[in-house]
Amino acid sequence: MVHSDVLDDVTFEEMVRKKLVDGKNFDPFDVEFHLEGPQERMRQIVMYEESAWNFISATQQDAAALREIAQRAG
């Protein structure tokens, strides 16, 4: 279960590893994956009521929005 948390100065991969691959939801030795995409650091507030899937998809949408803003400003 994903619990409420504030993750400061983390990448998307670090958020997934901290919130999902934590020994409670999945054990690190059971999961092998490579995340491609944004490595920018961000701040994410995770709400207790959201599901793990909503957490991941919302984070991906946030990263896409940040990329779009950066491209426009570029």
27: helix, strand or coil: coil
Model confidence, pTM:
0.36
Is pLDDT above 60 for 2? no
pLDDT digits (tens, 9 = 90+) for 21-71: 665 666 655 555 555 555 666 666 655 566 667 767 777 777 777 788 778
Q: How far apart are CA 18 and CA 21, in angstroms?
A: 6
Determine the Cα angle at 48 with ends 40 and 63, to 5°: 20
- Are 6 and 30 in contact by the 8 Å Cβ rule? The answer is no
Q: Which sequence spans correspond to the domains of the chain?
A: 5-73
